[in-house]
Amino acid sequence: MNNVLSKLIELPKKVWRFYYEGFRNQAKWGRQLWLVILIKLFIMFFVLKLFFFPNFLNTKYTNDQERSDYVIDQLTNPKNQLK
């Protein structure tokens, strides 16, 4: 039982070392590529959300009950029902 617990504790350390060594020994172009990927993710998830996806429910409804009623209505009573 103690051996299983020690293996579970050691697992995150092994994973951390694996990724740390991989990124440390990476070529210069690989690091630049990761930087570009991280910048793109930042733009996609933070900048675009701020400017193009406003919080519709908070601007239209004042409390949680109204918001939940609206969502339930939209999910259960679709306007374009297939026949």
Query: pLDDT digit string (tens) for 22-70?
Result: 988 999 999 999 999 999 999 988 888 888 877 888 888 999 999 999 9
- In a domain, residue 11? The reply is yes
- In a domain, residue 45? The reply is yes
Structure tokens at 31: 């690091």
Range of the domain at 44: 2-76
Structure tokens at 66: 């109204």
User: Is residue 81 scored above 60 in pLDDT?
Assistant: no
Q: Could you tell me which residues come within 8 angstroms of residue 60 by beta carbon, excluding any fewer than 6 positions away?
A: 70
- In a domain, residue 48? The reply is yes
User: Count of domains in the chain?
Assistant: 1
